[in-house]
């Protein structure tokens, strides 16, 4: 059993479990490792993978209810692999427990000559899309997968982009040209064939109608396509098709430096703004060993909560609009504008400030920053009450959304649903409470839960979260600690001004720190946050360089969309629109 | 009024002929609606505005809408149109044409032998109501019962 | 039988006014929505954005007159004018003021109902001929909705007809000299308003063109002036329903003598036009089956009951 040197102490019960597992599954577990994020890594054999998963899910002393993430690493160019079994491609399964504050990561080593792993879709239903993504990006075959086809990229794509040999820039590739045959081929690939989507053309009684909803449609919130199989207006099946917004954010992570990747994260959940920076910078800080000052933590929390409110307001308005209410979205955009004015006065930008830095934030708060926030905090509650009257207490809206698109807590966990969608089913699970980060343990707020898990409840949860966020922001304003806005740690980027330009030595340090950015020791770290739409995590692998070796972004929306067919069958087209609206997704967050 | 009568009659004839000759079902339906509306105008010209309005509301406005509704559900395409066109062969027209010709002859001969004058008689809404709920009350009630039975049957079928 | 037609000049004047009012209503609605939604609305073209309508008209008239190659040309071209013609014809029986009106007919109410039932063809043919699945869904919804709500609309105003004892709209107004029908017929009024919104398929009952669900419903494939006719037709419908409400339930042009009758009529109608705009701003859209259930299971029995009680009341009064 090899353990990497630089690790944190495991939680005692988790350490016991790892001990127990390595005795019980001696054959199946090849190696055990640990890293700074406190998540034990078990290298398993292909044959033992499912046995171990079944055990962890239903019999272990700590049960893991959710397959939180599934991704892979191309290990062929990695230098620092001390203590790891030989592997060309590693499949990583991140399991999460909702009863204990614990995660566990299983890794499966594959060689490039036999690039196939057993599918785990029969253990975790949500593995379906994750495995398809893995196949799409790495070319790893999952034996027994029901529909192993490309998910992000078009079916005609050649190669697997997240492999190290695949170019990251267009300039590294042949100039693009489209010949007649190629065009024919591409167009042929676009032809809709119901059988390919797992649909039949007719039933005993009727001929089905196939409706292509999207990628451009007024209420799919971006470029998202759903192929509908309709019997009249009743949905027989609805199959989501994603990837129209894919920008290769994970690939970009491998070519940017640690510091220059921050603005890219802003654009993952483009409504979340700096909320996206947080898990990324926290992951880098953990790897580099940076402790940020208290003031930084509170500033970060305050801005994150502002963005949570901005995002929820947009959700609230579009939700009402998708149910056919014309006005609320205008009121809420006006309110959102007020939040953005405050954010702009602090960060200098509105939607995508990219304002968090490794080891701190970009600037200190401006002079007199709290006045506008206090005014806004006093202003909002009355507005929220108006919205309750207008939207949440409206009879037609209730009839349109109550009992529509409902699912149970178990279904939610099976499908990897997090955030408001999970709390609407009655499970009181908020990552800020369950495993506080960035100082959330110091704040006083409640976690709203609902019982039915339908569209209405999902909206009601978010409405209440706006109020709780206002509470948190007020506490931030009242108790903002004094102190530096950046850590004094040498890896802080850019470094504190006082430490630069003193002599040639500090000037060189500053120059390197700004041009290359920090050098991060070889590590693997996952940080998870309660983002606007659910749990967002960054899984970063450092190979001891100035940039990430592998950046894995786990977004909540990806998992949520996968559940659409499950919860929309048997409803009507207008219900599907309500369901889509209640999920609160952003396509950039899905496709990355 | 005479001009109105004859022009409406001509439109009705042309529209009805187009209903038969049109190979596109939707076009045929549109012509049928026009035909019904021109019949309504004829009623109006003859002094029966109430009947004219009912013709427009019930036949043109409600029954034909249901026809069109069914047409939408059936998803008819080019194939049906070709099929219709195939039926337009002259050989298929001989039988019905002959029979209609005989009917026309009979009709024209009756018109010529009998002395028919076109004298519009005013029939107001009130007159009709008095007739319907006076001498014909039993018939009206029977018809309404029949409709009620139909309504209940439709409800039962829809429940299934 | 009474059937009087106004002079050619007055017909032309009414036609022109009605169309201009409907076009201006686009501006009125956008400004009112802006007012109620914390935004400005069109305010760039001309004073208060008044010329916005002119600009829109120029745009819409100069657009390419395009028929999709996959559409059924005959029905595609036929559909938009139907709605315009049918609604404009309905205006012919509306008595705006003493001496102002196109036709004074004994079958006015029935004529309006007949025209309303023909209006459904515009929407149905438009959707069917577009050969587009969203348009087809829209026109299927439209057919069911309009046919059903015609029924409730017809029955709801029969109460007024029974009280006035005539189908003549001008006589209905005159019979309200000692009391508007809104009081005895408040149930009929409510049903008529709901059915009126459903008939002119405006939000909250814009189910045939619900943009969040079926893009633009039956007029998805339409552009240029053909779309313009649907668009103006919708506003003409709003004016028509408002005018009918005023005529049937609010005493038409009747009002204290310090204002001329036509002004009373316009004032009353404007209130209802504004009400329709407010309705659009305030209420979400029910689902298509919910709307149908509401109609057949609630409005139909209610309107029949209303008619029954009104009939009984009329008989009782005659017996006295």
pLDDT in tens, A550-580: 999 999 999 999 999 988 888 888 899 899 9
Q: What are phi and psi of A59, to 5 degrees?
A: -125, -15
The answer to whether C279 faces chain A, any CB pair under 8 Å, is no
* Distant-in-sequence, close-in-space partners of B12: CB < 8 Å, separation ≥ 6: B35, B38, B39, B42
> B13 lies in which domain range?
1-94
- In angstroms, rounded to a whole number, what is the distance separating the alpha carbons of residues C31 and C281? 12
Q: Collapsing DSSP states into helix, strand and coil, what is residue A207? A: strand
Say yes or no: B2 and B74 in one domain: yes
Quote the CATH superfamily of domain A249-591: Cytochrome-c3 Hydrogenase, chain B (1.10.645.10)
Q: Collapsing DSSP states into helix, strand and coil, what is residue A561? A: helix
Instruction: With respect to residue B79, please indicate whether it lies within any of the assigned structural domains.
Output: yes
Report pLDDT for C183: 81
- Residue-wise pLDDT tens for chain C (320 aa)? 556 666 777 788 888 888 888 888 888 888 888 888 888 888 888 888 888 888 888 888 888 888 888 888 888 888 899 888 898 888 888 888 787 777 777 788 888 888 888 888 888 888 888 888 888 888 888 888 888 888 888 888 888 888 888 888 888 888 888 888 888 888 889 999 988 888 887 777 887 777 777 887 888 888 888 888 888 888 888 889 999 999 988 888 887 878 888 888 888 889 999 898 888 888 888 888 888 888 888 888 898 898 889 888 888 888 76
Q: Shortest Cα distance from B14 to chain C (angstroms)?
A: 17
Instruction: With respect to residue B103, please indicate whether it lies within any of the assigned structural domains.
Output: no
What's the predicted TM-score (pTM) here?
A: 0.85
Predicted confidence (pLDDT) per residue in A343-370, tens digit: 999 988 888 998 998 888 988 888 888 8
Return the H-helix or E-strand segment holding A319.
helix A294-322
What secondary structure letter does DSSP report for A92?
E
Instruction: With respect to residue B99, please indicate whether it lies within any of the assigned structural domains.
Output: no
Q: Shortest Cα distance from B24 to chain C (angstroms)?
A: 10
CB contact under 8 A, A397 and C284: yes
Which residues 375-434 of chain A have a CB within 8 Å of chain C? Answer: 390, 394, 396-397, 399-400
Say yes or no: B75 and B26 in one domain: yes
Q: What are phi and psi of B22, to 5 degrees?
A: -70, 135
- In angstroms, rounded to a whole number, what is the distance separating the alpha carbons of residues A75 and A138? 11
- In angstroms, rounded to a whole number, what is the distance separating the alpha carbons of residues B39 and B41? 5
- Which of A559, A562, A541, A558 shows the shortest CA–CA distance to A550? A541
With contacts defined as CB-CB under 8 Å, which chain A residues touch C203? Answer: 324, 326
- Closest partner residue to C282 (CB to CB) among A233, A327, A575 is A327
Q: Shortest Cα distance from C276 to chain A (angstroms)?
A: 13
Q: Give the A:C interface size as CB pairs under 8 Å.
A: 79
Cβ of A83: how many Cβ atoms within 10 Å?
A: 16
The answer to whether C292 faces chain A, any CB pair under 8 Å, is no
Residue B117, token pair as written in the block: 């004058």
For chain A, give every residue range classified as CATH 3.30.460.80: 12-143
Cβ of C133: how many Cβ atoms within 10 Å?
A: 17
Q: Shortest Cα distance from A114 to chain C (angstroms)?
A: 47
CA distances to A332, B147, C27, C32, C278 from A327, in Å: 9, 44, 17, 12, 10
Domain count across chain B:
2
Instruction: With respect to residue B36, please indicate whether it lies within any of the assigned structural domains.
Output: yes
- Closest partner residue to C286 (CB to CB) among A321, A327, A396 is A396
Say yes or no: B4 and B55 in one domain: yes
- Which of C260, C279, C267 shows the shortest CA–CA distance to C243? C267
Q: What is the distance of C-alpha A559 from the center of its chain? A: 9
- In chain B, DSSP finds a helix count (H) and a strand count (E) of 8, 0
Residue A185, token pair as written in the block: 């081929």
* Distant-in-sequence, close-in-space partners of B154: CB < 8 Å, separation ≥ 6: none
Check whether A337 has a pLDDT greater than 70. Answer: yes
Find the helix packing angle between C224-249 and C73-91, rounded to 10°.
Answer: 30
Return the H-helix or E-strand segment holding B148.
helix B137-159
ipTM of the modeled complex:
0.83
- Which of B122, B124, B107, B116 shows the shortest CA–CA distance to B1? B122
Strand partners, C3: C105
* Distant-in-sequence, close-in-space partners of C104: CB < 8 Å, separation ≥ 6: C2, C3, C4, C93, C95, C168, C170
CB contact under 8 A, A321 and C212: yes
CA distances to A463, B26, C294 from B18, in Å: 61, 12, 40
Say yes or no: B85 and B135 in one domain: no
> C69 lies in which domain range?
3-319
CB contact under 8 A, C204 and A396: yes
| CATH code (residue B44) | 1.20.120.1200
* Domain-terminating residue out of B45, B72, B94: B94
Quote the CATH superfamily of domain A12-143: NADH:ubiquinone oxidoreductase Nqo5 subunit (3.30.460.80)
Domain count across chain C:
1
């Amino acid at each position: 059993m090899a353990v990497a040197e630089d690790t944190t102490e495991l939680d005692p019960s988790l350490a016991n479990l790892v001990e127990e597992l390595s005795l019980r599954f001696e054959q199946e577990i090849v190696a055990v490792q640990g890293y700074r994020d406190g998540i034990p890594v078990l290298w398993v054999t292909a044959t033992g993978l499912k046995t171990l998963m079944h055990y962890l899910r239903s019999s272990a002393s700590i049960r893991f209810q959710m397959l939180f993430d599934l991704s892979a690493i191309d290990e062929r160019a990695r230098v620092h692999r001390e203590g790891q079994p030989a592997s060309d491609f590693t499949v990583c399964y991140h399991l999460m427990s909702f009863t204990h504050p614990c995660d566990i990561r299983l890794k499966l080593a594959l060689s490039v000559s036999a690039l196939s792993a057993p599918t785990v879709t029969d253990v975790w239903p949500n593995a379906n899309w994750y495995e398809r993504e893995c196949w799409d990006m790495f070319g790893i075959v999952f034996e027994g997968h029901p529909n192993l086809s490309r998910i992000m990229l078009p079916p005609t794509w050649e190669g697997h982009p997240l492999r190290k040999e695949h170019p990251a820039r267009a300039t590294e590739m042949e100039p693009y040209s489209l010949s007649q045959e190629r065009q024919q081929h591409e167009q042929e690939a676009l032809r809709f064939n119901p059988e390919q989507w797992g649909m039949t053309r007719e039933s005993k009684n009727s001929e089905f109608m196939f409706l292509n909803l999207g990628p451009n449609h007024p209420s799919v919130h971006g470029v998202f396509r759903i192929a509908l199989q309709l019997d009249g207006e009743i949905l027989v099946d609805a199959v989501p098709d994603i990837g129209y917004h894919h920008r290769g954010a994970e690939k970009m992570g491998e070519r940017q430096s640690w510091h220059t990747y921050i603005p890219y994260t802003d654009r993952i959940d483009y409504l979340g703004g700096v909320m996206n920076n947080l898990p990324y910078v926290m992951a880098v800080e953990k790897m580099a060993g940076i402790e940020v000052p208290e003031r930084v933590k509170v500033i970060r929390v305050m801005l994150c909560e502002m963005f949570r409110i901005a995002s929820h307001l947009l959700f609230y308005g579009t939700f009402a609009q998708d149910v056919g209410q014309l006005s609320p979205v205008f009121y809420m955009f006006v309110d959102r504008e007020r939040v953005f004015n405050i954010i702009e006065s602090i960060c200098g930008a509105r939607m995508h400030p990219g304002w968090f830095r490794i080891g701190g934030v970009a600037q200190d708060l401006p002079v007199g920053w709290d006045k506008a926030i206090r005014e806004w905090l006093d202003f909002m509650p009355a507005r929220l009450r108006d919205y309750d009257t207008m939207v949440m207490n409206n009879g037609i809206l209730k009839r349109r959304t109550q009992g529509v698109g409902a699912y149970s807590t178990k279904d939610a966990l099976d499908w990897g649903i997090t955030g408001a969608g999970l709390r609407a089913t009655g499970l009181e699970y908020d990552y800020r409470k369950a495993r506080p980060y960035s100082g959330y343990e110091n704040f006083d707020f409640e976690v709203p839960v609902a019982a039915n898990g339908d569209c209405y409840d999902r909206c009601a949860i978010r409405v209440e979260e706006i109020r709780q966020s206002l509470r948190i922001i007020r506490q931030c304003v009242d108790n903002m600690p004094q102190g530096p806005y950046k850590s004094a740690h040498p890896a802080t980027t850019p470094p504190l001004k006082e430490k630069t330009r003193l002599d040639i030595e500090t000037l060189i340090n500053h120059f390197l720190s700004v041009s290359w950015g920090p050098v991060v020791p070889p590590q693997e770290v996952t940080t998870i946050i309660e983002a606007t739409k659910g749990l967002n995590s960054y899984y970063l692998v450092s190979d001891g360089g100035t940039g990430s070796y592998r950046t894995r972004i786990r977004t909540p929306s990806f998992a949520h969309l996968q559940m659409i067919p499950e919860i929309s069958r048997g409803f009507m087209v207008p219900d599907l629109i309500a369901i889509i609206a209640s999920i609160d997704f952003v396509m950039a967050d899905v496709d990355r | 009024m005479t001009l109105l009568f004859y022009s409406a009659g001509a439109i009705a004839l042309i529209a009805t002929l187009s209903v038969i000759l049109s190979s596109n079902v939707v076009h045929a339906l549109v012509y049928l609606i026009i035909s019904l509306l021109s019949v309504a105008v004829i009623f109006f010209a003859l002094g029966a505005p109430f009947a004219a309005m009912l013709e427009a509301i019930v036949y043109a406005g409600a029954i034909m809408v249901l026809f069109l509704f069914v047409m939408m559900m059936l998803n008819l395409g080019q194939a049906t149109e070709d099929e219709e066109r195939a039926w337009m062969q002259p050989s298929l027209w001989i039988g019905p044409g002959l029979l209609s010709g005989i009917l026309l002859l009979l009709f024209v001969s009756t018109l010529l032998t009998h002395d028919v004058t076109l004298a519009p008689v005013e029939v107001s809404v009130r007159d009709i109501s008095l007739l319907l709920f006076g001498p014909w009350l039993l018939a009206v009630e029977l018809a309404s019962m029949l409709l009620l039975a139909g309504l209940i049957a439709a409800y039962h079928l829809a429940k299934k | 039988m009474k059937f009087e037609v106004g002079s050619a000049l007055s017909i032309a004047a009414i036609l022109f006014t009605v169309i201009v009012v409907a076009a201006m209503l686009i501006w009125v609605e956008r400004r009112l929505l802006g007012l109620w939604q914390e935004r400005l609305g069109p305010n760039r073209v001309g004073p208060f954005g008044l010329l916005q309508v002119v600009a829109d008209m120029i745009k819409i008239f100069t657009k390419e007159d395009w028929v999709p190659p996959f559409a059924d040309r005959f029905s595609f071209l036929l559909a938009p004018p139907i709605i315009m013609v049918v609604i404009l014809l309905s205006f012919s029986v509306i008595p705006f003021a003493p001496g102002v009106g196109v036709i004074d007919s004994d079958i006015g109410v029935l004529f309006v109902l007949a025209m309303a039932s023909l209006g459904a063809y515009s929407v149905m043919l438009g959707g069917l001929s577009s050969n587009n699945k969203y348009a087809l869904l829209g026109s299927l919804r439209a057919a069911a909705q309009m046919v059903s709500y015609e029924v409730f609309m017809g029955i709801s105003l029969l109460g007024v007809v029974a009280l006035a004892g005539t189908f003549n709209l001008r006589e209905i107004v005159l019979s309200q000299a000692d009391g508007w029908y809104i009081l005895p017929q408040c149930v009929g009024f409510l049903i008529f308003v709901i059915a009126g919104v459903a008939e002119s398929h405006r939000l909250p009952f814009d189910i045939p063109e619900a943009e969040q669900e079926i893009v633009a419903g039956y007029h998805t494939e339409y552009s240029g002036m053909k779309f313009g006719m649907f668009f103006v037709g919708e506003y003409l419908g709003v004016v028509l329903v408002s005018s009918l409400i005023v005529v049937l339930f609010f005493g038409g042009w009747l009002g204290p003598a310090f204002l001329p009758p036509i002004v009373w009529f316009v004032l009353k109608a404007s209130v209802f036009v504004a009400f329709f705009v407010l309705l659009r701003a305030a209420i979400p859209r029910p689902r298509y089956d919910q709307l149908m259930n509401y109609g057949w299971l609630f409005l139909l029995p209610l309107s029949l009951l209303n008619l029954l009680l009104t009939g009984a009341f009329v008989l009782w009064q005659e017996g006295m």
